[in-house]
Structure 1
Amino acid sequence: MDSRLDYVLRIADACLIHGQRLGEWCGHAPVLEEDIALTNVALDHIGQARSLLTLAGELEGRGRDEDALAFLRAEREYRNVTMLELPNGDFARTVLRAFLWASFMKVLCQALATSSNAQLAAIAAKSLKEVRYHQQHTGDWVVRLGDGTEESARRMGEALALLWPYTAEWFADDEVDRQAQASGLGPAWSTLQEAWLAEVQPVFAEANLVPLAEAPFRSTGKLGRHSEHMGFLLAEMQSLPRAFPGATW
């Protein structure tokens, strides 16, 4: 696969899959206002995915549009990081994951503003306005739960213990990162770790959360090797377009 395509798909698929997961909260959030807020965040992610998948289709040059790339690929063709495909779990896990990813997207979009690909730079500039809100909104919830009741703090601690090890994948560079950096397409993700931690740590301090020590574990979603949860997610997401090929609204 073209390394430029792979690089863009890692961002596009992350937005797509996270949007799918957040959409599962529609009608199930703890309060009506948050039900609407999470749905809107999910829609923002889907909008980002649409723009990025359109760019990916152009880079691929095989005539596949955003819908074909979103719904008609095999599991191993998706390049999203593993954390975003994990089941939602409880509300604490959902908002912590969304905060961690929004913080990463913020520093990534800032870096992509100078991308050698004008289309990618424009998508990043537009997305930055959205991810700043996502980070603020979910960060408020991380603090509210982490510094809340004994029960909410326990749940936030459990969410951190589960999710934090998956962040190591984000900063594990490979040839795709190196070529993107060399060509000016975008930064190697490892170069964003310090800036990402600077975004995360003040919120963690308010929420009484302490990042875990780094462990050897590395998930491999960016390489197309996913968790056991990905197949079930895709089966639901792809059921309609596969049952009715070529269907349009």
Structure 2
Amino acid sequence: MTDEDLYVDGDSARWAFGTGFTDPLHGLDQPVPGGVDADDLAACCLALGDDALVSAQRLAEWCTRAPELEEELALANIGLDLLGQARLLYARAGRADGTGRGEDAYAYFRDPVDFRNVRLAELPGGDFAFTVARLLVLSVWRLAVCEALSTAADPVLAAIAAKSVKELAYHRRYAAEWTVRLGDGTDESGRRMRDALTTLAPWVDELLTDRTAVGLGADPAVVATRTRRELSEVLAEAGLEECGMSTVAVPGTGRGGDHTPHLAPLLAELQSVARAHPDASW
């Protein structure tokens, strides 16, 4: 597959993913290639898709509530990036697992126990500092995963990951800039950042030990090392060195369907319209 395969209109150079097509993977060869375990591929796409969908829903909660209009737009756009990643990953999961299910089936018609997102993504939004801290951790980690998967043996997953890398690099930069601004700002902003990092720290180990993508080219040890290093660099610049990620981890894992009580109400809101009108066209 070449770069040209990712575009459907050479004149406008419009990206094929999710731009006006019923199938968000329009134009890509979709059979699972030989040598790639279809079950592993489906599980990886489902888990990363769930991470993105749940994260996007949490960011959407900041609409009309962000400290400034500029930040409201930024968080909304980051959420839309993640929603687009979820669409692509769900579409690939439906092909890989042999069910042919579309993205709506994964997003709207599964119960909380069937979701495979990391639990950090589903925690309540908290204040702006918590949202920034969580976005920093998730974007640094997800960027490391997607950069590894951009050379995956499955060309579709590799293309999705390569596209996601560009978006996640911005997410990471945005979150890092705000982490430094708040951590090295006033006494109040610094306190809020320290509190946010303390709150999310017990949930980070789930990311650093995740093996969902190991069979597709993302070495958990490499991902964890890079994630720790980049987070340490940002926290040091923010004057938050004492707020490291080392702490006692919360038992369980969202990858196994073990979720917090916060996921069910989040999904109930997300899925309410689709479940009320299951035969509607969206």
In the superposition, the TM-score normalised over structure 1's length comes to 0.93
Q: 1:60 to 1:35 in 2, by over 3 A?
A: same
Cα deviation, residue 63, structure 1: 2.5
Offset of residue 222 of structure 1? 1.3
Q: Aligned partners of 2:133 and 2:189: how far apart in 1?
A: 12
Deviations 1:19-57 (A, max 9, x none): 010011011100010011100000000000000110011
Q: Deviations over 1:136-162 (max 9, x none)?
A: 011100111111111111111110011
Q: CA deviation at 1:186?
A: 3.1
Does residue 28 (structure 1) correspond to residue 42 (structure 2)? The answer is: no
Q: Which amino acid aligns with 1:62?
A: T
Counterpart of 1:205 in structure 2 is 236
2:227 is matched by which residue type in structure 1?
W
Query: Is 1:196 matched with 2:196?
Result: no
Task: Output the CA distance in 1 between the equivalents of 2:117 and 2:246.
Answer: 24
Q: Which has the larger radius of gyration?
A: 2
Match of 1:234 among 250, 257, 267: 267
Once the two structures are overlaid, the 10-residue window that deviates more, 191-200 or 21-30, is 191-200
Structure with the higher fraction of residues in helix conformation:
1
Q: Give the number of the structure with larger relative contact order, counting CA–CA contacts within 8 Å between residues 6 or more apart.
A: 1
- Displacement of 1:3: 3.3
- Report Cα offsets for 1:126-180 as digits up to 9, x if no partner: 0100000000011100111111111111111110011011010112355xx4xx5
Q: Which residue type is aligned with residue 28 of structure 1?
A: R
CA distance in 2, matches of 1:120, 1:228: 31
Would you say 1:217 and 2:254 are equivalent positions? Answer: no
Secondary structure of the residue aligned to 1:80 is: coil
Q: Find the counterpart in structure 2 of residue 248 from structure 1.
A: 281
3-state SS in 2 of match to 1:88? coil
Amino acid of the structure 2 residue aligned with 1:96: A
Q: Contact 1:79 / 1:224 at 8 angstroms: preserved in 2?
A: yes
The one of 155, 164, 167 aligned to 2:201: 164
**Cα distance per residue 1:57-92 (max 9 Å; x no partner):** 111211210011111011111110000001100000
Match of residue 18, structure 1, among 55, 68, 74: 55
**Which structure 2 segments of 5+ residues have no match?**
1-37
Residue deviations 1:102-126, cap 9 Å, x none? 1011111110111011100000100
Total equivalences in the alignment: 243
Confirm whether residue 154 of structure 1 aligns to residue 163 of structure 2. no
Aligned to 2:179: 142
Structure 1 gap segments, 5+ residues each: none
Matches within 5 A, 1:71-82: 71-82=108-119
What are the Cα deviations for residues 183-219 of structure 1, in whole angstroms up to 9, with x where unaligned?
A: xx23243431001112211110011223043324334
Task: Indicate how the Cα distance of structure 1 residues 212 and 171 shifts in structure 2: closer, same or farther if over 3 A, else same.
Answer: closer
Deviates more, 1:235-244 or 1:187-196: 187-196
Tell me, yes or no, if the aligned pair for 1:95 and 1:142 is still in contact at 8 Å: yes
* Contact preservation (8 Å) 2:109, 2:275: yes
Mapped partners of 2:158, 2:75: distance in 1: 26
Which whole-Å CA distance do the structure 2 matches of 1:234 and 1:82 have between them?
A: 13
Equivalent runs, 1:54-203 vs 2, <5 Å = 54-173=91-210, 177=212, 180-182=213-215, 185-203=216-234
